[in-house]
Amino acid sequence: MTNLDPEQAQGALQVAAAARRRVADELGLPRAYWWVMGLGWLGLGFISHYASPWVTVLATIAFGAAHASVASRWLDGRHRTGQIAVARSVAGGRVAATVIGLLLGAILVTVVLALGLDADGARHAGIWASGVVGIGLALGGPGLLAAMLTRTRR
């Protein structure tokens, strides 16, 4: 390699940093994760409405356990597609923390929406609330996660 002057070295570092940011933009979860999460959310809404409370608790625990087993592979955000695995040093821990925050927010929205619908006299308020949030997760999860990751990177 030839001797670089400071301007060339700075330019090379800027190119490397820009490439790292582009790779970091690829962080996320597979689309199938969001569809399964949305359908599971809706399923829990039906179970909570039609089954006894202990069945609802067991279903929620089973859903959480299934999520935890999948999350151990996907939640680091390094495997959004099967084509690339982002280095752990680039991925950091942002994706897991952001997804957990997003899911806690989804729980809050579901509860508040169900309480509001129930207070308004809606039949099957829990199903409607979980349906709205489930569809939101399935269709909007990837975009919402990308926006939240971009915001946390700044």
Question: Domain limits at 56?
Answer: 6-153
- Cα separation, 76 vs 64, in Å, equals 17
Determine what percent of the chain is predicted with pLDDT higher than 90.
38
* Per-residue confidence band for 40, with pLDDT thresholds at 50, 70 and 90: very high
DSSP string of 47-103, one letter each residue: HHHHS-HHHHHHHHHHHHHHHHHHHHHHTTSTTSSSS----HHHHTTHHHHHHHHHH
Residue 84 in any domain: the answer is: yes
**What are the tokens at 139?**
């269709």
Q: What is the pLDDT of residue 81?
A: 54
Mean pLDDT for the chain overall? 80
For residue 33, pLDDT over 90 is answered with no
Of 82 and 67, the one with more pLDDT:
67
Determine what percent of the chain is predicted with pLDDT higher than 70.
73
**What are the tokens at 100?**
């957990």
Domain total of the chain: 1
Residue 53 in any domain: the answer is: yes
For residue 138, pLDDT over 60 is answered with yes
Residue 108 has, within 13 A of its CA and on its CB side, a CA count of: 6
- Cα separation, 21 vs 23, in Å, equals 5
Residue 1 in any domain: the answer is: no
| Total residues found in the chain within this entry | 154
Question: Can you give the C-alpha Rg of the chain in angstroms?
Answer: 20
The pTM of this model reads 0.70
